[in-house]
Structure 1
Amino acid sequence: MDQYVLVLNCGSSSIKFAIIEAKTGRSPLHGLAENLGTVSSKLGFSYQHKQHDGELPVNTDHQQALAVIADTLKQFEHLSRRIVAVGHRVVHGGEYFTHSTLIDEQVIHAIEKTSLMAPLHNPVNLTGINSAQNAFPHLPHIAVFDTAFFQTMPKHAYLYALPYELYQQHNIRRYGFHGTSHYYVAHEAAKALKKALGNCNLITAHLGNGCSIAAIRQGKAIDTSLGFTPLEGLMMGTRCGDIDPSIPAYLIEQLGYSASEVSELLNKESGLLGISKLSNDCRTLEQQAKEGNLQAKLALDMFIYRLVKYIGAYLAVVGTLDALVFTGGIGENSAYVRESTISQLQHLGLELDAEKNLEMRFGQSGLISHNSSKPIFAIATNEEWVIAKDAMLYVH
């Protein structure tokens, strides 16, 4: 009989959920509760490839939404009775967790301690854990951390050039995020190369509304662009990425911003949205750029230029490159972003096959490079499957 894992991913205003068969990654039921805490709260799910709408009251919070999700799943008894574990995505594990772990009071306390470093995510991750434990009290609950994959980074890569006491006393350092995605696509690239991951040097670029890039040497992460929080590094949908660190002080002291207004600006009003003054959706910007919108074109040019710079830097630190991987909503689907990026890296031995690049979209995974190039892949990520497989390690 098939065994399933319920995977929960609680965001700041949404909950993704899926029932996944851990051996194959097959997901007969998955869904999304979104716009939580607003008048437009809604629930939708897909069962056997058919879309269904659930019902959520106005201003539903995470706890209420999880109760509705649990009741919804119980309607599909042939699936729900085969759930043997619940896997929870947790954004920030700090230095406490180098791998996924069975949730107990000690683990919950450690997640609470890291909440200051991920205030938009860890508190709702904890709400999800608490609510799911109430709904499924007899199942093991496993936390899978975005930061765990990057705990192999050397100290010289993860420290900031700040007084060392800030690291010793307050754990201020680079942590990295999107770890389950980078982990998954790195393994898939190694399979495609017919090599053990431990023998692979890779650069993996997760490009979506949030973006990050990782340098992987001999199968282990040695650097990544996201830092103490998911704000540093590449330009993103609404996040600024790298800026002069004195800009926040200037905004506060000279322009009269409050600290919370600066945080809002950097996290939710910048990136592709801030430059284009139009949208954080790459598809919209590509269409508008084609139609002559100069701000849309500028936003895309900036996004691609910063990606090119990071790939160049990581080529220097991984050594001989076995493959470059694109993933995430933009990385998997935007032939334009991939082509525009690689066209600026041909002098470093990277070249796309134009036909393969156009074909490899919408869930397709495969090689998109020219025969004369170092391998370049577009790989559809599957973070939920990683969470499900990790959760099964704790099923006896």
Structure 2
Amino acid sequence: MAFEGLADRLQETMQKIRGKGKVSEADVKAMTREIRLALLAADVNLKVVKQFVQKVSERAVGQEVMKSLTPGQQVIKVVKEELTEIMGGEQSKIAVSNRPPTVIMMVGLQGAGKTTTTGKLANLLRKKQNRNPLLVAADIYRPAAIKQLETLGKQLSLPVFSMGDQISPVEIAKKAIEKAKEEHHDYVLIDTAGRLHIDGELMEELKNIKEATKPDEIFLVVDAMTGQDAVNVAESFNDQLEVTGVVLTKLDGDTRGGAALSIRTVTEKPIKFVGMGEKMDALEPFHPERMASRILGMGDMLSLIEKAEASVDEEKAKELEQKLRTASLDFDDFLEQLEQMKNMGPLDELLKMMPGANKIKGMNNLQVDDKQIGRVEAIIRSMTTAEKQHPDIINSGRRRRIAKGSGTTIQEVNRLLKQFEEMKKMMKQMSGMQQKGKKKRGFKLPFM
């Protein structure tokens, strides 16, 4: 995830002040100096750093901290609130027009991921908000841009409006809106042309499309990996087009996070969505408070719960709970759980959303090998129905057959069987503890 270096430094700084029963001005000064250095190292805009440090300093030496019973904790609360504030305060939702369709213009430089993001956004609108979007191919200059959008449309089973590369983008956009009205599409997403750098001709064309379509939203797509350049690009586009929001792509990459912390203050426009991977469902609404929590190592349980709710079948979850209670889980259940976890996204990213995950040694360098999960799946799929339901019948001959069928080694098969057995034992113990606890004092395990 982005912010890793910044998160490490800020968490280290917060740790020094966390347990203090008394916080002096000298403590606050030392802390804000560390924060300033951490933000500058993360490529945060200098003006933003100055504003942030000043606000934190004023509040941290003020009455709300000094008179608090837990001043150390109060300072951390101040830092979290100010961090949330510079990223926009509250989540900024996507517009909905009173007279459909809602028109969204997607703008940005070439290479920022604009066309892919257009597809991702349409996918999100359909899946999360039950909308019926129409994609519009209005980039007539870049070779294969129209083809790329059409391929994405086919992949996502979404309609794409195109008139080829000989008609003006303004005309294409106007005709697309007429088509959307006829066919009752409630959103129109116009993929406009990008450039390698900002030029007058491009801006003129974008202004003409804006004038012709009166969009409800103009989303600027910027690459978070470009740091301060992303902020400069955002400023230029905003000056000329008055964008309504920003979509940050590649926030899962090796980026220092400076763009996400600077754009809102510099442009006074909200970050609406963030791209967190290459898959077509890897676009998320941006929640400033949740991101601040993650940066400070407080986890992001709300996003984790939302991911789980979107990926987990409720009926199957109830069945699983019953099996957990009776410790009767078999390999078919295990395979199902692996599938549902994979739908939620990369396991290492999910683990980092857990509160306190930053304190687990090596968590930042944790990389879950997808190939390893694939090998586990292959082993289970090579078992017969009887073997999956009753692993205790798997003797040495069966182990050899399973290893051969899954392209793995006997050692890997043995390891999986052993781990599965240990997991069942642990569940049995937990279930026993729960029953015992119920009789004694109403104790209940969190997942029961």
Q: Does the TM-score normalized on the shorter chain lie above 0.5?
A: no
The structure with the greater share of residues assigned to helix is: 2
Query: Structure 1 length as normaliser, TM-score?
Result: 0.26
Pick 1 or 2: higher relative contact order, CA cutoff 8 A, min separation 6.
2
**Structure label with greater radius of gyration:** 2
The structure with the greater share of residues assigned to strand is: 1
